[in-house]
Amino acid sequence: MPIRVTHSTTMSDKTSQEILPSDHFLSLPRPDPFISPGVSLADGPDLEGIIDTTTLAAHDFDVDTRTGFMPPDPPVRRLPEQWEPWEAALQKAMHDRLQLAVKENITDAERQVSHRWRLEVRELPTIPIQDLTASEVLLRRAHHVLTFIMHFYIHTLPLTAPVVIPASIGVPLLKVSRHLQLPPVATYSDTVLYNWELKRAPSTREMETESEWACALDLDNMKSQDLFTGTRDEEEFFLSSARIELRGVEALELMRASMDEIFVGDDIAVRRITSYLSHLAGVVHALTSLLMDVRKGCDPDVFYHRVRPWFCGQDSDPAERKWRFEGIDEFENDVEEPKNLSGPSAGQSALIHALDVFLGLDNCKSDTSTTPTSGKADPRTLLRRMQIYMPRHHRAFLRHLSANPRPIRDFVQTKTPELVEAYNQAVGAVKGFRDAHIRIVALYIIGPASRERTGGERHLKGTGGTQLSQFLKGVRDNTADALLQ
């Protein structure tokens, strides 16, 4: 059956101006990255020579006081009519339950269904994106839809086939990504931050209050918009991160309040910061519990065999293939071959990076002079690379936090033993989170991988292409080293 173009009556009927108020910073004029070619993401989030008014005006860095790095309103559910063929292709992939090429015992019938879907994707028109570029939220939806289609496309291809992303989706994806300053691959923002909707709509009374949707956005009132497998396991995997993001809002508030008090710096401020840091430790413990709760709805074997392979990026491609974007040579301004093509990972969560930066845990510095001489990759550099995959306002937030002229770690060391103790509680809590995370990774990846392994040892890679255990333990050990004597 061909991909049917149907008209959705939800968000697609709205213009970008109707989705966000015209004075919202995301509705402000944005730079056209195609006017300033040759700027790579690795250089930093800002495009040289162009003023990104959305970033300048975003004094809140797109960090909401109620929902943190999650948007306070549900993300756009469907693109307007013009881009409906992309939405229809994604719906069809999900509806037809396309199967992974690496699935054990995949049948010929399943291969045929994917083959036909891929043919249809190749035949899609290359739809211009110009009319999307006035709206950040539509661009986000476009990135989500196109990267989901791309991952469906690549991971249903036979392992012997080269990975050539058809121009019909690859060309618009490269353009959309360039506008958002994101790599053209699925990110944590595509799978978690901008991939949810409310299970229960807000009541009339809730809608009357200032916070509108945000008040209906509690930890259990979310479901994912789009899934690769349609399983509860995949949804719970995404939602466990979303819940951590929402619960983490209190941590962001405590960080902000502490930084305000450092500015004052008197005895009352020291007492307040002591209390905020103890409180922060409690919030991080709560995040750890939410992390461990992933076990309630996500089965490790289902995750490892059925869900995770959809996330693989070029650096964890099962057949180690290079991903080629058809049509890349035809861009008017030179567009570099994308280099950053790692799959989505909660390592791209700005919340956890913010904790590191605030506490001065040294995990996000990319000082090459401190790279170990053992030849192993420095975990700090790897963690820092993950920031390339974050929405650019969140990257700017982390940069702003790092540039704080009064770092808390320096402040604490000049004050009372109680303050040092509270700081150590907070650092200890983050180390506890990482210990728990290592246990989760052992349960969800290392265990299932060792059960399937028939041949000799091989180094396990993260979806982000990292050498798994070495990387995670390195980050955890850096955290432990930050405890003050």
Binding residues: 437
241 near ligand HEM, rule: CB under 6 A = yes
Residue 81 burial (C-beta neighbours within 10 Å; 0-12, 13-18, 19+): middle
**Taking contact as CB under 6 A, which single stretch among the options 56-64, 173-181, 234-242, 253-261 is the one that binds ligand HEM?**
234-242
Map residues 423-462 to x or -, x wherever contact with ligand HEM holds by CB under 6 A: -----------x--x--xx--xx----------------x
Minimum Å distance from CB 218 to ligand HEM? 18
68 near ligand HEM, rule: CB under 6 A = no
49 vs 42: CA distance, rounded Å:
16
Among 388, 445, 390, smallest CA distance to 188 is for: 390
Task: Give Cα 284 distance to the centre of its chain.
Answer: 20
**Taking contact as CB under 6 A, which single stretch among the options 3-11, 36-44, 270-278, 466-474 is the one that binds ligand HEM?**
466-474
345 near ligand HEM, rule: CB under 6 A = yes
* CB-based closest residue to ligand HEM: 462
| 461 φ/ψ angles, rounded to the nearest 5 degrees | -105, 150
**Taking contact as CB under 6 A, which single stretch among the options 88-96, 120-128, 249-257, 342-350 is the one that binds ligand HEM?**
342-350
Site for ligand HEM in 259-298 (CB under 6 A): 291, 294
Q: Which residue has the tokens 């292709």?
A: 89
Annotated binding site for heme b: 437
Among 258, 254, 283, 303, smallest CA distance to 432 is for: 283
Measured from the CB atom, the residue of 30 and 437 that comes closer to ligand HEM is 437
Measured from the CB atom, the residue of 26 and 284 that comes closer to ligand HEM is 284
Structure tokens at 334: 């030179």
Structure tokens at 141: 């939806």
Give 230's contacts (C-beta < 8 A, 6+ positions apart).
94, 97
Q: Which residue has the tokens 């013009």?
A: 82
349 near ligand HEM, rule: CB under 6 A = yes
76 vs 196: CA distance, rounded Å:
9
Q: Would you call 467 helix, strand, or coil by DSSP?
A: strand
Minimum Å distance from CB 243 to ligand HEM? 8
191 near ligand HEM, rule: CB under 6 A = no
472 near ligand HEM, rule: CB under 6 A = yes
Minimum Å distance from CB 470 to ligand HEM? 10
Other CB atoms within a 10 A radius of the CB of residue 190 amount to: 24
Measured from the CB atom, the residue of 224 and 240 that comes closer to ligand HEM is 240
Please report which residue ranges of 293-416 form alpha helices under DSSP H: 294-297, 300-302, 350-359, 379-385, 392-402, 408-413
Measured from the CB atom, the residue of 80 and 462 that comes closer to ligand HEM is 462
418 vs 295: CA distance, rounded Å:
36
**Residue count, binding to ligand HEM (CB under 6 A):** 27
* Exposure string over 58-67, b if 16+ CB within 10 A, otherwise e: beebbbbebb
Q: Using CB under 6 A, which of 240, 314, 387, 425 touches ligand HEM? A: 240
Beta bridge partners of 197: 223
Measured from the CB atom, the residue of 152 and 444 that comes closer to ligand HEM is 444
Measured from the CB atom, the residue of 206 and 315 that comes closer to ligand HEM is 315
Site for ligand HEM in 303-322 (CB under 6 A): none
Q: Would you call 404 helix, strand, or coil by DSSP?
A: coil
Q: Using CB under 6 A, which of 273, 352, 396, 429 touches ligand HEM? A: 352
Minimum Å distance from CB 411 to ligand HEM? 24
357 near ligand HEM, rule: CB under 6 A = no
C-alpha pair distances (Å), 325 with each of 192, 299, 330, 335, 356? 25, 34, 11, 11, 36
359 vs 453: CA distance, rounded Å:
40
Minimum Å distance from CB 52 to ligand HEM? 26
Q: Using CB under 6 A, which of 55, 147, 424, 466 touches ligand HEM? A: 466
Q: Using CB under 6 A, which of 47, 76, 132, 244 touches ligand HEM? A: 244
**Taking contact as CB under 6 A, which single stretch among the options 66-74, 88-96, 236-244, 450-458 is the one that binds ligand HEM?**
236-244
SS3 for 51-104 is CCHHHHHCCCCCCECCCECCCCCCCCCCCCHHHHHHHHHHHHHHHCCCCCCCCC
61 vs 25: CA distance, rounded Å:
10
Map residues 380-399 to x or -, x wherever contact with ligand HEM holds by CB under 6 A: ---x----------------
Which residues contact ligand HEM by CB under 6 A? 237, 240-241, 244, 291, 294, 345-347, 349, 352, 383, 434, 437, 440-441, 444-445, 462-466, 468, 471-472, 475
